Amino acid sequence: MLGPRQDGWRVWLVAAAMLPAVALAQGADELASTIQQSLDGIEYRIDLRPELAAQDLQEQQRRLDLLEQQAPGHPELPTLRQKFATLQDQVASSLTDAAGDAASGTGAAQIPTAPEAFDDGLEEVGTLQKQAESAFLMGENGEAADFLEQAESQMAALEERYGDEIPKGHATLIVTKEKLAALKDQLAVAEPAD
């Protein structure tokens, strides 16, 4: 007879079915935390780099949609949606102001800029950071740590190479460093991947 064995399989199947729900809840909390941190960063740079803030806000829209799909009743969702809407309004206003300033030859057009190669390098760091973040959200902490290490190494090389040419208060640099630091903190408290 296979009765006890079948019961054992049933218990195992029920337990296996519950694991994704637990992992999903943890993943949703981590995703909500990441969205909150990203929205805080966007809020910081709206006036300095409204175009970049607008691009980052689009990415957060996708993350909010993902959070809503994964956990429609997540307690942080209404707050995140409200903050997102507020930032959308601020970005739209800032983009309008920036367009007016550029037409009149004032405002952001007068801010010193970093070399194009530095900005391109920061974009590559940002790509590595996003890959690290995605791996982290999927529970692949080892892979996330590898991407993060690559991003930090590239950031250090960029700063060493272009140090004197980087304007003080370079918003993208500041925000990128904050994102890397936040992800490093998240990885430090996460359980190591098996």
Q: What is the DSSP string of 156-179?
A: HHHHHHHGGGSPTT-HHHHHHHHH
- Tell which wins on pLDDT, 102 or 160: 160
User: For position 165, what pLDDT does the model report?
Assistant: 85
| Mean pLDDT value of segment 108-134 | 82
- Position 162 scores a pLDDT of 87
Give the integer Cα–Cα distance in Å for 9 and 44: 53
Band of pLDDT at residue 157, cut at 50, 70 and 90 = very high
- Is the Cβ–Cβ distance between 69 and 91 less than 8 Å? no
Query: What mean pLDDT do residues 165-192 have?
Result: 81
Check residue 107 and report its DSSP letter. Answer: G
Averaged pLDDT, 69-97: 88
Rounded Cα gap, residues 152 and 174, in angstroms: 13
> How many CB atoms are closer than 10 A to CB 186?
20
Which range among 35-49, 100-114, 145-159 has the greatest average pLDDT? 145-159
SS3 192: coil
- Phi-psi map region of 169: left, alpha, beta (phi>0 left; psi -120 to 50 alpha): left
Strongest mean pLDDT among 13-22, 105-114, 139-148: 139-148
According to the model, what pLDDT value does residue 119 have?
87
Question: Would you say residue 109 has pLDDT above 60?
Answer: no
In angstroms, the CA 168 to CA 52 distance is: 18
pLDDT at 191 over 50: yes
Mean pLDDT of the chain: 78
CB of 153 within 8 A of CB of 183?
A: no
CA distance from start to end of the chain: 37
| pLDDT at position 98 over 70 | no
Q: Give the per-residue pLDDT at 23.
A: 40
What confidence score (pLDDT) does residue 40 get? Answer: 85
Residue 137: the pLDDT is 87
User: Which pLDDT tens digit goes with each residue over 38-53?
Assistant: 888 888 778 777 888 8
Two structure tokens written together for 63 = 């993350």
Whether 99 shows a pLDDT value over 70: the answer reads no
* pTM exceeds 0.85: no
Query: Cα 140 to the chain's mean position, in Å?
Result: 16
